[in-house]
Amino acid sequence: MESPLLQYLFRLGDDSLILGHRLSEWCSRAPMLEEDLALANMALDHIGRAKMLLEYAASFEAMGHSADDLAFGRDERHYYNLLITEVPNGDFAVTMVRMFIFSAFDVLRLEELSTSHDEMLAGIAQKGVKESRYHRRHAADWIWRLGKGTDESRRRVQRALHTIWPFTDEMFDMDDTERVLIEEGIGCDLHTLREIWKKDVSEVISNAGLTLPEDGYMHRGGRNGVHTEALGHIISEMNYGYELMLS
């Protein structure tokens, strides 16, 4: 079993790696060029963050692996991202709702991690929080526009909220790995963030004239490497180029 910090770096790194992958799938497919730029920007931020986290993990692991080996050399059961990051992009509304809901969470998590006793992690979080604040704002602006736009956009963004909501509970799950790190002043206590997150999300959604979904069945499992069917497709595509360069 990996050390708690290594496991934690995988979790954070995989969140960014998989979300960055999903965002990069929009390349040449956005509703307007300005949004193609923004989606690529957010993808670059997350893939860049994954690279830093996995480079740190690789140095920490000291097994001679590179960040690429860690990013692209694992099988389905050894990715530890939150399931919300792997949900298929769907339409623009699903992508933006996921981006808003995740980024609102990510900003809070990164603010906490900015003061982590682990200096490297704190440094990565300090850079990341600036990016994620922008992601949150950009996506929140879209929630508002889609909510206040046409009947069709309102219908789509409301439907997207229902698609994404069952993946929100998992964001706040904590296990022994995380509890050990909180005690050491390295990790972030997610329970304290939940109410702040809920307030932020509720406000943005209600300002847009939309309804917060009821809590129903909640998906979980990513932190233990148990994913949705979508992940296998992501990694069989994502790991292709890496495998090519090994052959």
Partner 1 sequence: MAVLTEAQTEFFEAKIARDEKIEPRDPMPDGYRAHLIRQISQHAHSEVIGMQPEGNWVTRASSLRAKLILLAKIQDECGHGLYLYSAAETLGISRDEMLAQLHAGKAKYSSIFNYPTLTWADIGAIGWLVDGAAIVNQVSLQRTSYGPYSRAMVRICKEESFHQRQGYEIMAQMMAGTRKQRAMAQDAMNRWWAPALMMFGPPDNDSPRSHDAFNWKIKRESNDTLRQRFIDKTVQQAEVIGLTIPDPDLKFNEATKHYEIGPLNWKEFYDVIKGNGPCNRQRMEHHMQVHEDGAWVREAAQKAALNGQKPA
Give me the residues that bind partner 1 (CB under 8 A), please: 21, 24-25, 27-37, 40-41, 43-44, 47-48, 50-51, 54, 67-68, 71-72, 91-92, 141, 144-150, 152-153, 156, 207, 237-238, 240-242, 244-245, 247
Instruction: Determine the Cα–Cα distance for residues 194 and 196; give it in Å rounded to an integer.
Output: 6
Instruction: Determine the Cα–Cα distance for residues 246 and 42; give it in Å rounded to an integer.
Output: 29
Name the phi and psi angles at 17, rounded to 5: -60, -45
Contact call for residues 161 and 99 (beta carbons, < 8 A)? no
Nearer to partner 1, 89 or 114 (CB): 89
The owner of tokens 């909501």 is: 165
Nearer to partner 1, 14 or 112 (CB): 14
Instruction: Determine the Cα–Cα distance for residues 146 and 34; give it in Å rounded to an integer.
Output: 16
Which amino acid, 18? I
Instruction: Determine the Cα–Cα distance for residues 242 and 229; give it in Å rounded to an integer.
Output: 22
The angle formed by the CA atoms of residues 123, 127 and 133, to the nearest 5 degrees, is: 135
Least distance CB 91 / partner 1 (angstroms): 8
